[in-house]
Chain A
Amino acid sequence: MASSQASLGKTLLWGGIAATLYGFLFYFSDDFLRLAHTTQDACLVQSGMNINYFNKATPELCAEQGGTLIHGTWWYVLAPIAMAFALSYTHGIFTGLFWDLLGLKARK
């Protein structure tokens, strides 16, 4: 009983960490997308309520459309990679514990 309570606690803990990371990703999803869009040089054009990003942008082409040119920052690429590592690790541990808890096991 004690061991099953301990594994329930561990499952909930890892589930909580994974859920928090998912919450973080989706709370800041616009920022993550902005990072992706501006890894390369991009032209930001406001269109009503929406912001459109264009690539293959040059200062002239962007100015023609009344947009703002944003110079790309290559290391923004590390954001999705770090997120993928963190979520894969925590959610992977959680799902493993979850199925163990439910008693789903491979045939011996």
Chain B
Amino acid sequence: MEHMALINFIDISLGGAITLILVGFVGGLVSGFIGSGGAFVLTPAMMALGAPGMIAVATNSCHKFPKAIVGVFKRHKYGQVDVKLGLVMAVFAEAGVLFGKHMMTSVRNSYGAVGTDLYVSAIFIVTMAVVGSFMLKDYRKLKAMGDDAQKTQDITWIARWVQSIRIPGTMFYSRGVQAEISFLFVIPLGFATGFLSSAIAVGGLIGVPGMIYVLGVPAIMASATEMVIAVATGLGATFLYGLEGAVDIRMAMLILLGSLFGIQIGAIGTTYVKDYQIKFTMAVIMLTVLFSRIFYIPGYLNSVGMIEPLPAGTLQVLKWIGDGVMYLALFLGAYTVFSALFKGMKKHRESKSGSAGETAAD
């Protein structure tokens, strides 16, 4: 069958289902803790379990968009969502999703499912390296600033410049920015967010910092507004990849089963920690996951015939190392959230009982 392509979904045994639920749980913990979709852990985890890159991305999109809808409503109640900015960005993000999906299917049509493994891994590694390094830098800065970091968050010079530019006919008022901005600046941000969303199922890693640093939206509003974009990109990617038959609903729902349990623990954990601890967690997980992906690359290159064939034993060892590092990242994620939660709760109880004692003494 030279011209037809076998459609592959992984077999899910009972053990596999439990693993997916646990992976989803950790993904949920991390996602609640750092306020993102958690797909940057889930996409590579699904691939480590044997799902081809395109199916992992499609399935992840399907698991995240309903969660994002719930998130939008919750955070809209707190007044954190800039709906207009979210919708403008979502329009251009959808264009990015279309482009990203076209790229993915072109890769699959030319190199098969394993080609998408290579494509997703390569984009993943580059994105994680860039965003992870920025996170580490941010962590150091916030830690050095201590408590002042929570009080002041100056907007960048780029954001000040963007806010000062007036291009007639393109201006709209953004509640997050608290000024009029030109939608022309939103185009690249939206497009990149949508593209990454359909390439690795992780769009917020560009969208959120983009809104903060380029447009000058406060961090809390940026992450809430990104959910509007996540709904559009997640639903768009699910629909477009679904038309290709690439959404594995069993895998998506098993991940969701664990992740909805984890997300609330993660979200509660954040109320006990400082901002810089969250950045640190995010950076460590990103860089560990990135590191794990590197070990799979030779196997993918071997499968698409881009390198001299490697011995089967070598490929197996590389996969084991990759899997090991991936599971280490998941363990690190779970450990960080739980230790932050327990330490924070203990401290909170101690400070409460201390102040109760003082009140009694008075």
Q: Which residues of A contact B (CB under 8 A)?
A: 22, 25-26, 29, 32-33, 36-40, 42-43, 52-58, 61-62, 65, 74, 77, 79-81, 83-85, 87-89, 91-92, 95-96, 98-99, 104-107
Q: Do B62 and A81 touch across chains, with their CB atoms under 8 A apart?
A: yes
Contact of A80 among B247, B257, B271 (CB under 8 A): B247
Contact of A57 among B4, B246, B257, B271 (CB under 8 A): B4
Contacts known (A22-B257, A84-B63, A88-B70); A77 close to B4, Cβ less than 8 A: no
Report B1-34 residues with CB < 8 Å from chain A CB: 1, 3-7, 9
Q: Do B244 and A40 touch across chains, with their CB atoms under 8 A apart?
A: yes
Cβ-based interface call for B268 (8 A)? yes
Q: Do B245 and A84 touch across chains, with their CB atoms under 8 A apart?
A: no
Q: How many of chain B's residues have a CB under 8 angstroms from any CB in A? A: 42
Contacting residues, chain A, for B6 (C-beta < 8 A)? 52-54
Cβ-based interface call for B218 (8 A)? no
State A55–B6 Cα separation when bound (angstroms). Answer: 6
Q: Do B66 and A25 touch across chains, with their CB atoms under 8 A apart?
A: no
Contact of A36 among B245, B257, B268 (CB under 8 A): B245
State A52–B246 Cα separation when bound (angstroms). Answer: 15
Q: Do B243 and A107 touch across chains, with their CB atoms under 8 A apart?
A: no
Q: Which residues of B contact A (CB under 8 A)?
A: 1, 3-7, 9, 62-63, 65-67, 69-70, 109, 235, 238-239, 242-250, 252-253, 256-257, 260-261, 263-265, 267-268, 271-272, 344, 348
Contacts known (A37-B7, A61-B1); A79 close to B249, Cβ less than 8 A: yes
Q: Do A62 and B4 touch across chains, with their CB atoms under 8 A apart?
A: yes
Contacting residues, chain A, for B253 (C-beta < 8 A)? 22, 25, 83-84, 87
Given contacts A80-B238, A84-B253, A99-B264, 17 further A-B contacts (CB under 8 A): A22-B257, A32-B250, A36-B7, A36-B242, A39-B243, A39-B245, A42-B7, A62-B4, A81-B62, A81-B238, A83-B249, A84-B65, A87-B256, A91-B256, A95-B263, A99-B268, A106-B271
Contacting residues, chain A, for B109 (C-beta < 8 A)? 56
Contact of B252 among A58, A62, A84, A105 (CB under 8 A): A84
Q: Do B4 and A99 touch across chains, with their CB atoms under 8 A apart?
A: no
State A25–B265 Cα separation when bound (angstroms). Answer: 26
Contact of A84 among B66, B257, B260 (CB under 8 A): B66
Q: Do A32 and B245 touch across chains, with their CB atoms under 8 A apart?
A: no
Contacts known (A88-B67, A95-B261); A107 close to B272, Cβ less than 8 A: yes
Q: Do A88 and B247 touch across chains, with their CB atoms under 8 A apart?
A: no
Contacting residues, chain B, for A105 (C-beta < 8 A)? 268
What are 29 contact pairs spanning A and B, CB under 8 A? A22-B253, A25-B250, A36-B247, A36-B249, A38-B245, A39-B244, A40-B244, A53-B6, A54-B1, A54-B7, A55-B7, A55-B245, A56-B109, A65-B4, A81-B242, A84-B63, A84-B238, A84-B249, A85-B66, A87-B66, A88-B67, A91-B256, A95-B263, A95-B264, A99-B261, A99-B265, A99-B268, A104-B265, A107-B344
State A55–B7 Cα separation when bound (angstroms). Answer: 7
Q: Do A55 and B250 touch across chains, with their CB atoms under 8 A apart?
A: no
Q: Do B264 and A96 touch across chains, with their CB atoms under 8 A apart?
A: yes
Contacts known (A81-B242, A91-B256, A92-B260); A55 close to B5, Cβ less than 8 A: yes
Contacting residues, chain B, for A39 (C-beta < 8 A)? 242-245
Name the residue in B109, B239, B267 with the highest tally of chain A Cβ atoms < 10 Å from its Cβ.
Answer: B239
Kindly provide the distance from the CB of A43 to the nearest chain B CB, expressed in whole angstroms: 6
Q: Do B271 and A53 touch across chains, with their CB atoms under 8 A apart?
A: no
Contacting residues, chain A, for B242 (C-beta < 8 A)? 36, 39, 77, 80-81
Contacts known (A61-B4, A107-B272); A81 close to B243, Cβ less than 8 A: no
Q: Do B249 and A107 touch across chains, with their CB atoms under 8 A apart?
A: no
Kindly provide the distance from the CB of A101 to the nearest chain B CB, expressed in whole angstroms: 12
Q: Do B1 and A107 touch across chains, with their CB atoms under 8 A apart?
A: no
